[in-house]
Structure 1
Amino acid sequence: MPSVLWFRRDLRLADLPALLAAADEDGDVLACYVLDPRLEASAGARRLQYLYDALRDLRDGLDGRLLVTRGDPRTRIPEVVRSVGAASVHVSEDFTPFGMRRDEQVRDALGDGVEWVATGSPYLVSPGRVTKSDGTPYKVFTPFFDAWRRHGWRSPAESGRDSARWIDPADVSGVASVGDIPDAGETLDLPAGEQAARTQWREFVEDGLAGYADDRNRPDLAATSRMSAHLKFGAIHPRTLAVDLGRGKGGQAYLRELAFRDFYASAVTHWPRSTWWNFNTAFDAIELDDGPDAQAAFEAWKAGRTGYPIVDAGMRQLRESGFVHNRVRMIVASFLVKDLHLPWQWGARWFLDQLVDGDMANNQHGWQWAAGSGTDAAPYFRVFNPTTQGKKFDPSGVYVKRWVPELADVADVHNLDADRPKDYPQPIVDHGQEREEALRRYNAIRG
């Protein structure tokens, strides 16, 4: 009998276990994607653009044999199943709070007559697989990392376009197709989809992997892989990356970043409340700023008009490109929560609105790390000095000058005391004073 392969965060054909499982049913396979209005409404425009571009790439990879429909999956997936008389629905398992609720509801809507088959996940090691000896989840990364490496993962799945006999959506009746896949009207700084992901990864392995450990914290260098958006949407699986890493210094540093991705996914799976609330509930009592002055400071931060060059460069890169270097993400996050004393949730929400690679687990727990309230968080007393960080990681000011053109002719962008252009703002706060204030507030909740 036919089966349905429902694509979600796995917009690819290579290394896709769910495809092999669907093809193993010994029947034809209908590939489908459901544009959920709830997700379209909550996603930033750039993430939608990546999604739409990746869907077009996937459809091309299937020679047009991808059914794209819009609506509530609780009604659309049963409609798709009925339209082809499918006996099963195959998916890659989703571990986000929203995705888990949605899948449970769709399974209930399908009833007992249709088999629900979840095979694989977006992670090297799926959440729940790596636990302590007593079965409880890890709250600290280092022991998680050790256990994660011992657990290991499978080799890439040998799947592709020819793995299944695909049903042509033109032959399917009873399901409303969207016709043309929409466009969000955004221009991405890197192409989207499986083919772009695989090309980008090959280039990084050849040219960037060896130096990754030494250069990955330098925003002035093209030293990172830029694979985060591809991983977010599943245009490539981390297994495909891991198999190329080897045992060198650069490869092992990259593997550690993939482990952090799995660690944060595990945290959100076990503690879904931590997506928007402090993981460490002691931080619920911390004093935060609010009101018109706080909002004005937040708007200056969003616009890249704080008067701190490395912070402003990062925020302008985010606003203009939908990406910001990871080291700079930490710097701007620290500035928001520890210099401006604003809720980390404000920054997390803005990032999700702007980022192409906005991922709920990575984004929220990255922000909680900066705020000191999350799993394995930065110590409360660690307050990034934006000037020192700029000097260390952008020593020649190349990164700052790229994104803050007012400083293009300044000799030392990290020392503007005597050379601050008139069209560039004065610092909106004094870092030394705000550091002391942040420590006062942190000490107050320590008790």
Structure 2
Amino acid sequence: MTSILWLRRDLRRSDHPALLAARDAADGDLVVAFVVDPALWEGGGPARRAWLAATLEATNEEYDDALTLLWGDPVTVVPELAARVGASSAHVTRETTPFGHRRDEAVAQALSAAGVEWVETGTPYAVGPGLVTNGSGSAYKVFTPFARAWRSHGWPEPAARPTSLPLRQARSDAKATDALREALAAPGLPEMPGAGEKAAAARWRGFVDDALPAYTTDRDRPGTDGTSRMSPYLKLGVVHPRTLLADLASRRGPGKETYVDELAWREFYADVLWHNPSSAWKDLRDALDGMAYDDESDAVDAWREGRTGYPIVDAGMRQLLAEGWMHNRVRMITASFLTKDLHVWWPVGARHFLDHLVDGDIASNNHGWQWVAGTGTDASPYFRVFNPVTQGEKFDPDGVYVRRWVPELAHLEGKAAHQPWEHEDGYEQGYPERIVDHAEERREALRRLEATKG
């Protein structure tokens, strides 16, 4: 009998437990498929669609050009594929997001009605969401104790990469292949990293050899290539975090421990979402119930387009549009500006990020926004307002990052690029003036906070 492996956030061949389970269940052929779901495809921005399309091209190569592409609602098309190829089982990596979990329950039910076994093996995380609990069996609400328990729980070694597979390609949907082709040819796409497992492995080797030793300090400097840039690969499961952790286990130094902490944050936010599905788009904590937020306005458009008049904010927003990625420190600065300086509810910014980020992960992105907004777990207190000038001067002290993304300030040397209003020639290249006064908006943010307490 034939078995199906339905790929989702696991677009790889290495360290893939669900693939091994599907291979072992196949008494004959193995069909590897990906479903382009219009509900997700049409809701994503051009950069996200192009990154997925490029990654699927690379995944097809890893599976010897035998990847089957389908278009439509998985509840319909996966059972149809099973019937067409005579499959006895369908294998997946367990999905943990609210949408994915609901979808899989519906697909499993439809397959069961047709006599096809549904098998879930593994998750996109080193430790599956819901498995790390405190002494009373409850979920952790704070990162530090979660990370300690997560390390103590541990994770298995990476799964072996199969050298041969009984692959069979079923007929792909023309609508799916056309959609992917159009996504890669869309105008105005950002410059993206190389796609696929080989590119991910090369990026990782370069990072651990060159940047990991100084990662603890350099990761906060957007003008330095000090981060791993593995998040786009982790997002689509091109590499499993367990693979990275296994490599890090053989290394020493503070950079290693800091990077493991960053992976733990990703797993923590996935765990929070698993236990609190509504936190995807609603405040996790009710501490700011009654907070007065402003509606979207021309100021929000200026934020989206990188013309707020605050250089570090504008550099980050322009990097997002140009690369489909933004440095994490700058993500916090830009998020604080929207929520605290423009007084806009965090989902507005979270949606914009997800539209453009090639690494846009709903758990990490939306809970990261809530951390800044003061509504999430381990929340930065609402009264902690990032000052875009001092943040820029601290983490981009020479102005390298700002000048790279805001060419109107290229003529200002050093940290002068962070305060063009302090220089006679600061605006001579057409850089916009500040749309708000940060000091005044900080006071307004604190006034609104006090009003919620009343």
Q: TM-score range by the shorter chain?
A: over 0.9
Q: Is the CA contact 1:29–1:167 (under 8 Å) kept in the aligned structure 2? A: yes
Q: Tell me the distance in 2 between the aligned counterparts of 1:53 and 1:251.
A: 30
Q: Secondary structure at the match of 1:203?
A: helix
- What amino acid maps onto 2:43 in structure 1? S
Match of 1:205 in 2: 208
Match status 1:183 vs 2:182:
yes
Match of 1:131 in 2: 133
Offset of residue 247 of structure 1: 3.8
Q: Tell me the distance in 1 between the aligned counterparts of 2:91 and 2:134.
A: 31
Q: Is the CA contact 1:12–1:193 (under 8 Å) kept in the aligned structure 2? A: yes
Matches within 5 A, 1:260-299: 260-290=265-295, 294-299=296-301
Match of 1:193 in 2: 196
**For structure 1, which runs of at least 5 residues remain unmatched after alignment?**
none
Q: Which stretch of structure 1 is more off in the superposition, 49-58 or 324-333? A: 49-58
Match of 2:69 in 1: 68
Q: Is the CA contact 1:205–1:244 (under 8 Å) kept in the aligned structure 2? A: no
Q: Tell me the distance in 2 between the aligned counterparts of 1:2 and 1:189.
A: 37
Match of 2:311 in 1: 309
The two structures have a TM-score, normalised by structure 2, of 0.94
- What amino acid maps onto 2:320 in structure 1? L
Offset of residue 64 of structure 1: 1.2
Q: Is the CA contact 1:61–1:161 (under 8 Å) kept in the aligned structure 2? A: no
- What amino acid maps onto 1:429 in structure 2? V
Match status 1:421 vs 2:427:
yes
Q: Tell me the distance in 1 between the aligned counterparts of 2:301 and 2:49.
A: 24
Q: Tell me the distance in 1 between the aligned counterparts of 2:74 and 2:174.
A: 13
Match of 1:406 in 2: 408
Deviation per CA, 1:295-335: give whole Å up to 9, x if none.
11101111111111101111111112111100000001001
Deviation per CA, 1:232-277: give whole Å up to 9, x if none.
0001100111112234211110000100001111111111111111
Q: Cα–Cα, structure 1 residues 414 and 179, in superposed 2: closer, same or farther, change >3 Å?
A: closer
Deviation per CA, 1:173-228: give whole Å up to 9, x if none.
xx778456433123533112222111111111111111111110000000001111
Q: Cα–Cα, structure 1 residues 183 and 156, in superposed 2: closer, same or farther, change >3 Å?
A: farther
Match of 2:240 in 1: 237
Match of 1:10 in 2: 10
Match of 2:347 in 1: 345
Offset of residue 398 of structure 1: 0.4
Match of 1:81 in 2: 82
Q: Secondary structure at the match of 1:225?
A: coil
Q: Tell me the distance in 1 between the aligned counterparts of 2:275 and 2:307.
A: 38
Q: Tell me the distance in 1 between the aligned counterparts of 2:176 and 2:451.
A: 55
- What amino acid maps onto 2:338 in structure 1? L
Offset of residue 161 of structure 1: 5.0
Q: Tell me the distance in 2 between the aligned counterparts of 1:188 and 1:237.
A: 24
Q: 1:214 aligns with which of 192, 213, 217?
A: 217
Q: Tell me the distance in 2 between the aligned counterparts of 1:90 and 1:59.
A: 18
The two structures have a TM-score, normalised by structure 1, of 0.95
Q: Tell me the distance in 1 between the aligned counterparts of 2:106 and 2:163.
A: 30
Q: Is the CA contact 2:33–2:69 (under 8 Å) kept in the aligned structure 1? A: yes
Q: Secondary structure at the match of 1:31?
A: strand
Q: Secondary structure at the match of 1:51?
A: helix
Q: Tell me the distance in 2 between the aligned counterparts of 1:227 and 1:79.
A: 35
Deviation per CA, 1:351-391: give whole Å up to 9, x if none.
11111111101110010001000111101221111100000
Match status 1:331 vs 2:330:
no
Q: Tell me the distance in 2 between the aligned counterparts of 1:330 and 1:179.
A: 37
- What amino acid maps onto 1:193 in structure 2? G
RMSD after superposition: 1.5
Q: Cα–Cα, structure 1 residues 176 and 73, in superposed 2: closer, same or farther, change >3 Å?
A: farther
Match of 1:148 in 2: 150
Q: Secondary structure at the match of 2:213?
A: coil
Q: Is the CA contact 1:13–1:19 (under 8 Å) kept in the aligned structure 2? A: yes
- What amino acid maps onto 1:354 in structure 2? H
Q: Tell me the distance in 1 between the aligned counterparts of 2:395 and 2:90.
A: 48
Match of 2:258 in 1: 253
Q: Is the CA contact 1:13–1:161 (under 8 Å) kept in the aligned structure 2? A: no
Offset of residue 168 of structure 1: 3.1
Q: Which stretch of structure 1 is more off in the superposition, 65-74 or 434-443? A: 434-443
- What amino acid maps onto 2:344 in structure 1? L
Q: Is the CA contact 2:190–2:321 (under 8 Å) kept in the aligned structure 1? A: no
Match of 2:39 in 1: 38
- What amino acid maps onto 2:274 in structure 1? T
Q: Is the CA contact 1:18–1:92 (under 8 Å) kept in the aligned structure 2? A: yes
Deviation per CA, 1:11-57: give whole Å up to 9, x if none.
00000000111111142211111111111011111111111111111
- What amino acid maps onto 2:287 in structure 1? A
**For structure 2, which runs of at least 5 residues remain unmatched after alignment?**
none
Deviation per CA, 1:388-430: give whole Å up to 9, x if none.
0000000000000000000000121123212421411221111
Match status 1:57 vs 2:58:
yes
Match of 1:106 in 2: 107
Q: Tell me the distance in 2 between the aligned counterparts of 1:357 and 1:111.
A: 34
Q: Cα–Cα, structure 1 residues 339 and 333, in superposed 2: closer, same or farther, change >3 Å?
A: same
Aligned length, in residue pairs: 440
